[in-house]
Each structure stands twice: as structure tokens, then as C-alpha cells.
């Protein structure tokens, strides 16, 4: 018993939070991730989305389906969902959006230093997305054709396990084959234009398993005159 | 002096903001090493190799040049200008003139060149007043006469003209080798993408690892990162560069006059799509000399003859760029189609292109 006061039991070894923790090797540091508490399990979203999404943010491990006819603003909607989290320092990746307009993405508020683009994964979109799930917190996937059931299932499982947020961007002719936590469908689009394109108002129908106001339709302005997403 | 085979690839000679000319040069060098191990990059778009050894191996100068031209075409898709002469200075001239100078003929070849090839404007004009038109006539001046009349730079050029030096002072890009090493990824510092204040967090490491895996899967151009620079049209302002490639150094935050304002297109085509813009009478709309359109655009004809009615159109915004060099006269216009899509179309030289979409 008297040994406890001996020299090898200094306070240094008794507390986990002492400075002298073992240095982790780079491989381990890349593989592990910090413990996340319930509070940090949602990633923040910008204002127009905060009132629309069930948890007031993007819940880690969830899949959000964004569906829009081509050219009706699906890309803008998906990207604007990322803006707040990206600006707060989370990594994001965009798979399958060919030739992304970088200026528009910067205007929406994303931090381009932490966005990876995979513009043309061709047949390997599911594998590419699966690779990225391990590396980023937010992932936009636009499948080049109607996604296969199994590929979608695998990706959603992986997303749930790793705590990433998946945003599946599809068109009505080739919808996402599985039910998603939150679905955002663009049902109407209208440009406001004077001597140039100024802004676009989108009608978005919110649905999905855990959605608060299921079936509610909201009007958003994406992009506005400064290229951002705002509530109308 | 050794006979050199010089390769001049016009398209790769201009520095591209996304570093593509540097990467293409790396690919060309890698392809040429199988023909001759002593390939030497001189400048962007300009490469030399000794021709004596390959010529023996392939069975003649022409056979070597066929192999080299085919290799460059395979790798880049560009046509290469080839030339053979002794010394770097004459080899470059030969390549630009697509000439093979026979062994021992280099002195004659150099002497008939106009004086402007030395690249010194003041010398060219002064020498013309003295009645000297060709490099050979300039070379015949006594060095002492040149020294009392011209600057030290011109004295160096005079030695090149006389064949005492084999290259012009500015012919080599001295940074090129270091930059090629960086482009090959041998300089690891370029690979790191820094977080805030240059610190790297665990999430940065995870993203790096994922990007690494993906680059293995898809190739170098598979994973891209973005960079916003100064410029007028959206495709000039934005650059997508391969992940891990060295970034273009220039970052311009200054407002550019005539910049197309926000909102910017969410899709900015890397390879614009040919389209037709027709007016109400189904006549093609053109850009007039004063920068106005010849008719009101009312139909957009997309690929495979798909026709869409234009419900609204704005523009044209005329850009005459780089009027000091090769002038490009372009005009942008925004259109909204009956389907509700908004697009950015651009006209240049009578042809319309779909350059962006506001999705």
C-alpha cells in the first residue's frame, strides 16, 4: 500500500488528460475519428433550410434525396445544403456533377479548400462514393443513370456506419431506388430576370421518413442576386 | 557540335493556369524516353534529344522523326514540328522551319537566317540601318567593332551568330526541371492541402487518404479541387485542377471590369457544346460589327436537332480579349428556355456554343 506513494505513481500517469499521450502514427490518425456526442450528430445548414429539415440540420448517417428535373435547380439545392457545414470546416465531396461551376459554388458559401470534385466517375460512381464516405463528412452523389438497388443500399449502409451525410441528387425519370430520411423535390421553378438573370424561386416539397412537415411546400430563392440561397 | 533533334509543340508552349501544359510535357517526356534516354526539356513546348544514336538504331533520321511524331501524337493529340541541326540555337530554328540540316550544314543554315531570329529588336533595327540583314552578315563583323558599338548582350548574340556559343541566353527555362519534378509528385510538399492557418487536422488527413485512394482508382484527372481566380467570364474565373497538382500561384481578388455578375452558372462546360441560335424567321442570329445581335433569339437548337423555344434573352455582353495579342471577340448571352432552364450561350466567329447552365 505504501508503494502507491512511490515514485512510479506520479500524478502524470494517473490522469488520462495529461499532456504526455502517445503520439499516433499517421495511418491510425487517418483511420480513427473523434468520439461524436448526440449534440454534434447534426451538421449545420444555412438559414433557409434550418426550419425545413427535421433536426434543424443534416443528421450524420442520414441520406437526403434531392430530386429535380434537369435544369430546375437540383444542383444548386444540393450544394446550398452543404454551404454552412463546409464553411464551418467540414470536408465535402461532389461525385458525378460534370463540369461544376466553381464560381457559383463559391458564391453559395462553400469553402472550396475542402471540397473534392469527382466530375466523371463513369461506371465507378458507387465505388468512388464509397471511397469518399470514409474521407468526407458530406457527400453529394449524382448517379449517371438510374441507380441500382444494391449499389444504393450498400452506399446508404456505409454512410450510416461512418456518420457521413449523403445527398442523392436524382431526376424524376431515374429516382433514388430506396426510401430516404428526408426528400426534397423541386416542383416548380421560376426565374426573375431584368436585363440579366437575377434570381430564381424554387418550390420545394419536403418529404421522407422523419420529416417534420411532411408534404409541406416551401418557396426558396436559389440563387439570389449574390448567388446564395435564401428564404423567400 | 552534336546534332540535335528538336521538338516544338506549339500548343504546349503556353502556360495554362490549370498546369495542363506542364503535365502534358511530363507525359511527352515519358513517352520519348523509350526512343532516346537523353531527352532534354528546354522550355514549355520545346524538347531536344541527340539524334545520332537513335538514328543508327531506327535506321535513319526520318525513321526517328516518324517515331517521335507518332509518340507525341499518341500522348497529346498535337502535331509536333521537328527539325535537326547542330547546337540548341540552330536546332530550335530548324524545328520551327521544319527543316533537317545535314551534318556540317549548320553554319550555312545559320548564316542565311534573318537577324530577327536572335530576338533582339534594337539590334535588328540598328543593323538594318548598317545594311546587315542576315545573321551571317552580322557574324562577319569583327568582334572588336561590335564591342565598341553594342551592349554586352549583343556581344553574346554576336558570338552565337559566329557559332562560338550554341544557345541564346534566354532559350532555356531554368525553373523547368524543378517544376517538372513537382508535377511528377516527387516534391511531396505540393501534395499537401493545408487547413486553416496551415494546420492539419485528423479530418484533413482522412480526406487526403480518401482522395489518394480515389486517384488510384480513377487516374490523375479523377479527383479535382477548385480555385477561383480573377477573370471576366465564369470559365475564365474558375479553375479545376487535379488534386495534388501544384496550384496556379496567381490569385486575383481585384474586381474585373465587365465581369459577368452573380448568379454564376452551376455548370461551366469544359468542352462547350455546339448549338444554333435562330431568330423568329428561323434565320441564324449573328453578332453584328457594332456588338448587337442581328435578330432576337427565339429558338435554341441543341445537339441532335432538339429545338427549344427561348422565352427570354439578355445580352449580348461583348468581350474583346487580349487585343494586344491574338484578339478573341466573344459575346455572352443568357437565355431562358420554355422548359424553365436557364443557360449561358457564347458566340465566337459566327458559331454559338453552350458554355454554362444554371441548374
Give per-residue pLDDT as tens, B302-321.
Answer: 888 888 889 998 878 887 66
pLDDT digit of tens for each residue in chain A (232 aa)?
Answer: 444 444 455 555 555 454 555 566 766 666 666 555 544 678 888 888 888 887 788 888 899 999 999 889 999 999 999 998 998 888 999 999 988 888 888 888 888 888 999 988 878 889 899 989 988 999 999 998 888 999 999 999 999 888 899 999 999 999 999 989 889 999 999 998 888 888 999 999 988 876 555 678 888 898 888 888 888 7
Q: Report percent pLDDT > 70 for chain B.
A: 86
- Interface contact flag, A89 B195, Cβ < 8 Å: yes
Residue A72's region, left for phi above 0, alpha for psi from -120 to 50, else beta, is alpha
Range B137-151 average pLDDT:
89
- pLDDT for position B228: 64
Q: Is residue B213 part of a domain?
A: no
Q: What's the grid cell of residue A55?
A: 433536426
CATH code: domain of residue A98: 3.40.50.300
Q: Which residues are registered as beta bridge partners of A67?
A: A170, A185
Q: Model confidence over B209-243: pLDDT tens digits?
A: 888 888 888 887 888 888 766 565 555 666 788 88
Q: Count the domains in chain B.
A: 2
pLDDT at residue number B196? 43
Strand, coil or helix: B62? helix
For residues B269-287, b (16+ Cβ closer than 10 Å) or e, as one string? beebeebbbbbeeeeebeb
Q: Are residues B142 and B276 located together in one domain of the fold?
A: no
Q: Are strands A63-67 and A165-170 parallel, antiparallel or unpaired?
A: parallel
Q: Would B290 be classed as within a structural domain?
A: yes
Beta-bridge partners for A57: A44
Q: How far is B225 from chain A (nearest CA, A)?
A: 5
B155 dihedral zone (left: phi>0; alpha: psi -120 to 50; beta):
alpha
Q: What angle do CA B269, A49, A127 make, to 5 degrees?
A: 50
Q: How many domains does chain A have?
A: 1
| Domain containing residue A112 | 42-184
Three-state secondary structure call for residue A213: coil
> Do B157 and B27 share a domain, yes or no?
yes
Please report, for residues A166, B93, B137, B140, the alpha-carbon distance to residue B87 in angstroms, rounded to integers and kept in the order given.
Answer: 60, 10, 20, 20
Residue B184 vs residue B159, higher pLDDT: B159
Q: Is B358 on the interface with A (CB under 8 A)?
A: yes
pLDDT at B187: 46
**Interface ipTM:** 0.78
**pLDDT of res. B234:** 57
Instruction: Tell me whether the omega of the peptide bond preceding residue B316 falls within 30 degrees of 0, making it cis.
Output: yes
Looking at chain B, which residue has its C-alpha nearest residue A138? B207
Q: B264 contacts in A (CB within 8 Å)?
A: 101, 103-104, 107, 227
Domain end call among B121, B141, B162:
B162
**pLDDT of B116 higher than 80:** yes
Out of B131, B162, B193, a domain closes at B162
pLDDT higher at B175 or B97: B97
Question: Does some domain include residue A78?
Answer: yes
A33, A97, A135 member nearest B210 (Cβ): A135
- Domain-embedded: residue A20: no
CB atoms A99 and B239 under 8 Å: no
The domain boundary, picked from B162, B178, B211, lies at B162
Neighbours of A63 (CB within 10 A): 26
Query: Residue A32: its pLDDT value, please?
Result: 64
Cell numbers given for B86: 547542330
Are B154 and B298 part of one and the same domain? Answer: no
Q: Which of A79, A93, A112 sits opposite B228 (nearest CB)?
A: A112
Domain that holds residue B16: 3-162
Instruction: Please give, rounded to a whole number of angstroms, the shortest distance from the CA of B229 to a CA of chain A.
Output: 9
Helix (H) or strand (E) holding A74: helix A74-87
Q: How far is it, in rounded angstroms, from Cα B42 to Cα B49?
A: 10
Evaluate whether residue A165 is within a structural domain. yes
A191 to B207: CB separation less than 8 angstroms, yes or no: no
Q: Does residue A5 sit within a domain?
A: no
Amino acid at each position: 500500500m505504501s508503494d502507491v506513494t512511490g515514485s512510479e505513481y506520479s500524478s502524470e500517469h494517473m490522469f488520462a488528460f495529461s499532456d504526455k499521450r502517445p503520439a499516433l502514427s499517421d495511418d491510425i490518425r487517418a483511420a480513427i475519428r473523434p468520439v461524436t456526442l448526440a449534440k454534434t450528430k447534426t451538421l449545420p445548414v444555412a438559414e433557409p433550410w434550418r426550419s425545413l429539415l427535421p433536426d434543424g440540420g443534416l443528421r450524420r448517417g442520414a441520406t437526403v434525396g434531392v430530386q429535380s428535373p434537369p435544369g430546375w435547380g437540383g444542383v444548386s439545392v444540393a450544394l446550398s445544403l452543404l454551404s454552412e457545414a463546409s464553411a464551418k470546416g467540414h470536408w465535402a465531396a461532389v461525385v458525378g456533377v460534370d463540369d461544376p461551376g466553381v464560381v457559383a459554388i463559391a458564391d453559395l458559401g462553400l469553402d472550396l479548400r475542402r471540397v473534392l470534385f469527382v466530375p466523371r466517375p463513369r461506371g465507378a460512381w458507387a465505388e468512388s462514393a464509397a471511397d469518399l464516405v470514409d474521407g468526407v463528412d458530406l457527400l453529394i452523389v449524382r448517379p449517371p443513370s438510374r441507380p441500382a438497388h444494391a449499389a444504393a443500399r450498400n452506399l446508404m449502409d456505409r454512410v450510416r456506419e461512418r456518420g457521413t451525410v449523403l445527398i442523392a441528387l436524382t431526376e424524376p425519370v431515374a429516382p433514388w431506388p430506396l426510401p430516404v430520411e428526408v426528400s426534397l423535390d423541386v416542383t416548380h421553378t421560376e426565374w426573375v430576370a431584368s436585363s440579366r438573370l437575377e434570381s430564381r424561386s424554387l418550390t420545394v416539397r419536403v418529404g421522407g421518413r422523419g420529416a417534420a412537415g411532411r408534404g409541406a411546400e416551401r418557396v426558396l430563392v436559389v440563387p439570389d442576386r449574390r448567388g446564395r440561397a435564401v428564404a423567400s | 557540335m552534336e546534332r540535335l533533334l528538336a521538338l516544338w509543340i506549339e500548343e504546349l508552349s503556353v502556360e495554362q493556369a490549370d498546369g495542363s501544359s506542364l503535365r502534358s510535357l511530363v507525359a511527352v517526356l515519358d513517352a520519348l524516353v523509350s526512343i532516346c534516354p537523353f531527352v532534354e526539356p528546354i522550355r514549355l513546348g520545346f524538347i531536344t534529344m541527340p539524334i545520332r544514336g537513335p538514328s543508327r538504331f531506327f535506321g535513319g533520321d526520318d525513321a526517328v522523326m516518324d517515331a517521335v511524331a507518332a509518340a507525341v501524337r499518341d500522348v497529346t493529340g498535337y502535331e509536333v514540328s521537328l527539325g535537326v541541326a547542330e547546337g540548341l540555337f540552330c536546332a530550335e530554328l530548324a524545328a520551327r522551319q521544319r527543316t533537317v540540316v545535314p551534318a556540317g550544314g549548320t553554319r550555312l543554315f545559320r548564316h542565311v537566317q534573318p537577324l530577327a531570329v536572335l530576338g533582339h529588336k534594337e539590334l535588328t533595327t540598328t543593323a538594318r540601318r548598317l545594311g546587315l540583314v542576315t545573321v551571317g552578315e552580322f557574324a562577319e563583323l569583327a568582334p572588336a567593332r561590335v564591342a565598341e558599338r553594342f551592349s554586352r548582350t549583343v556581344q553574346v548574340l554576336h558570338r552565337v551568330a559566329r557559332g562560338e556559343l550554341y544557345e541564346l541566353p534566354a532559350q532555356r527555362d531554368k525553373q523547368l526541371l524543378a517544376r517538372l519534378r513537382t508535377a511528377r509528385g516527387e516534391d511531396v510538399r505540393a501534395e499537401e492541402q493545408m487547413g486553416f492557418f496551415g494546420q492539419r487536422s485528423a479530418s484533413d488527413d482522412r480526406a487526403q487518404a480518401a482522395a489518394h485512394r480515389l486517384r488510384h482508382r480513377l487516374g490523375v484527372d479523377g479527383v479535382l479541387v477548385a480555385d477561383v481566380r480573377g477573370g471576366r467570364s465564369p470559365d475564365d474565373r474558375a479553375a479545376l485542377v487535379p488534386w495534388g497538382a501544384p496550384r496556379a500561384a496567381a490569385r486575383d481578388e481585384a474586381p474585373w471590369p465587365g465581369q459577368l455578375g452573380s448568379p454564376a452558372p452551376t455548370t461551366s462546360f469544359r468542352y462547350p457544346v455546339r448549338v444554333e441560335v435562330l431568330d423568329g424567321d428561323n434565320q441564324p442570329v449573328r453578332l453584328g460589327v457594332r456588338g448587337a445581335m442581328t435578330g432576337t433569339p427565339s429558338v435554341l437548337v441543341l445537339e441532335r436537332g432538339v429545338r427549344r423555344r427561348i422565352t427570354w434573352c439578355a445580352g449580348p455582353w461583348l468581350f474583346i480579349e487580349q487585343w494586344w495579342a491574338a484578339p478573341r471577340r466573344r459575346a455572352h448571352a443568357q437565355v431562358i428556355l420554355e422548359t424553365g432552364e436557364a443557360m449561358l450561350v457564347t458566340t465566337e466567329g459566327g458559331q454559338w456554343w453552350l458554355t454554362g447552365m444554371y441548374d
